[in-house]
Structure 1
């Protein structure tokens, strides 16, 4: 340590009214989330700055590759996970997450929400939502598929999607395939595998490969074109509208029961639903806000509207998920 720094520490310790470096430090709230959320282009940096202005605390991020990875790590570490909040699970994982008995009730008075269905859960707070979709480049693909069944059959279209064991979009496709194909899902997975470039662990890797031209279509969201229109000022990336509808995703956050800062955790959950945070999430996570927000970018008004919101009972998902994963694994390995 430089001599001047050493002298400063001594003087600070003996001057009346001067707090030492170890006295009354700002509390640190740790939020466990997925990596794209806290990337330099994601909402994480702006949310951190905005929350720290009001909380008299420091916000620390802890990350996993993708949404399902959050649940997997919670299962492994349980109460040993050094976090106060988990952000990035979705409604399809709620039953499994609650079975871990790691979460505290949110104790929030929720504002009016714009979700397709009323939100009743007392533990998890929704912070955005969207619909899964396959994105394509109109300059390269002139006749995109009109349904999931057509996409599965079209061996002239090279596809990238995410692993349903680690990724919430990948899990969304798993549910989508079950809803469309039912008992024929195994055969459908095999057909899709014949023209799948790769299955990635998370969304970021898959979308990055697509943008580099390594596939014709990539699993993402109906909202993804808004990013390209608003940030890159291009319109050639579009979401294919499927006639049978699109699977809905609602992303959620919750306080861990072992949080060392429960009041700050509840403050953060309330902050996520504030107009400022909702606008940041919409325009940096590129999902739909869960409450009405004024002055969203014009691109949000140009997105495709799914003909039908495909949903499935959450208890059914929790009971069948392992079986459907085994079915997928066997099908794509053959």
Structure 2
């Protein structure tokens, strides 16, 4: 049975303030930062639920699943928010997640209806650059590899963008992926555990380009009135990321967790994502002027099962190239 947010919340008893139930949501660091969606979401949901919503940071996206697998059924987490479709098959196989009972998200570029994982936002990976310093960026991985540009990327073992880059190269080049990584290896200035560290290095001028999103320059346009940042369109296309949340099977706040996942589809949650998480919302929301200037012409995406099947091999190819 699929319940609306209002129906779920009406089923929850509202205890005295001293006995507020606690809902623990583990997410990635940038979501829970002071400039991320976390503070807004916490206030909005607590106004509805009569509960204490607590976000805990678990590193970057791919590190969330690793931590949950380590903790297993003993985890105190009720909800995880920040996995993506490159991790959902592995997450489902862990047996740690319970059905969410919500309808499919309404505004995704793909069909997605998973009983365990509910999308809340999406975007395309891209290499960001400063137009003043790099007016004509490379338009493919091969052109980037042939250049002397320095890039910063994220570790695929801890970061969903880093893992997304592995899948991007694999989806675009298939068996040629090791060749592409070997050619790119001398362009890689450093590999950071998460997105925040690498984007910070880029902004400090340490690198010419950084692995991020087509929507990242919107932050600079809207929040800083700075249109110097842009993303480089690649002829191979751009890999999609769909971020999801899920309920832990071991949660002792199942009803509250389901209410929270329903809330992730509500306008109060979705409307803050474009200008705090700087991603496209999973439900229809009007975007501010300047949020996007263009979209990739070609989208790439491996299915959850395909991503799970090739992950180990793609990681080995990446490690071998960078070890040279």
TM-score, scaled relative to structure 1 = 0.90
Structure-to-structure mapping, 1:55-74, within 5 angstroms:
55-74=49-68
The answer to whether the 8 A contact 1:244-1:307 is kept is no
Tell me the residue number matched to 1:107: 101
Structure-to-structure mapping, 1:18-97, within 5 angstroms:
25-97=19-91
The answer to whether the 8 A contact 1:134-1:221 is kept is yes
More helix by share: 1
**Alpha-carbon distance, 1:330 to partner:** 1.2
Structure-to-structure mapping, 1:263-278, within 5 angstroms:
263-278=255-270
**Alpha-carbon distance, 1:314 to partner:** 2.2
Tell me the residue number matched to 2:13: none
**d(CA) in 1 for partners of 2:303, 2:35:** 34
The answer to whether the 8 A contact 1:31-1:84 is kept is yes
**d(CA) in 2 for partners of 1:153, 1:59:** 49
Gaps of 5+ in 2: 1-15
1:116 matched to 2:106? The reply is no
Tell me the residue number matched to 1:228: 220
1:321 matched to 2:311? The reply is yes
**d(CA) in 1 for partners of 2:269, 2:48:** 12
- Give 4+ residue runs of structure 1 displaced > 3 Å after superposition: none
1:98 matched to 2:92? The reply is yes
Q: Report SS of the residue matched to 1:35.
A: coil
CA deviation map 1:96-136 (0-9, x unaligned): 0000101111111346x111112221111100000000000
Tell me the residue number matched to 1:332: 322
CA deviation map 1:185-233 (0-9, x unaligned): 2222122111211000000000000000000000000000111111111
The answer to whether the 8 A contact 1:33-1:70 is kept is yes
Q: Report SS of the residue matched to 1:254.
A: strand
**Alpha-carbon distance, 1:24 to partner:** 5.2
CA deviation map 1:247-267 (0-9, x unaligned): 000000011111111111011
**d(CA) in 2 for partners of 1:166, 1:23:** 38
Tell me the residue number matched to 1:3: none
- The alignment's C-alpha RMSD in Å is 1.4
Tell me the residue number matched to 2:272: 280
Tell me the residue number matched to 2:211: 219
CA deviation map 1:293-325 (0-9, x unaligned): 13x2112242x2111110123222211211111
1:181 matched to 2:173? The reply is yes
Larger radius of gyration: 1
**d(CA) in 1 for partners of 2:40, 2:163:** 28
**d(CA) in 1 for partners of 2:232, 2:292:** 16
Task: Name the CA shift for 1:108/1:180 in 2 (closer, same or farther; >3 Å).
Answer: closer
Task: Name the CA shift for 1:326/1:180 in 2 (closer, same or farther; >3 Å).
Answer: same
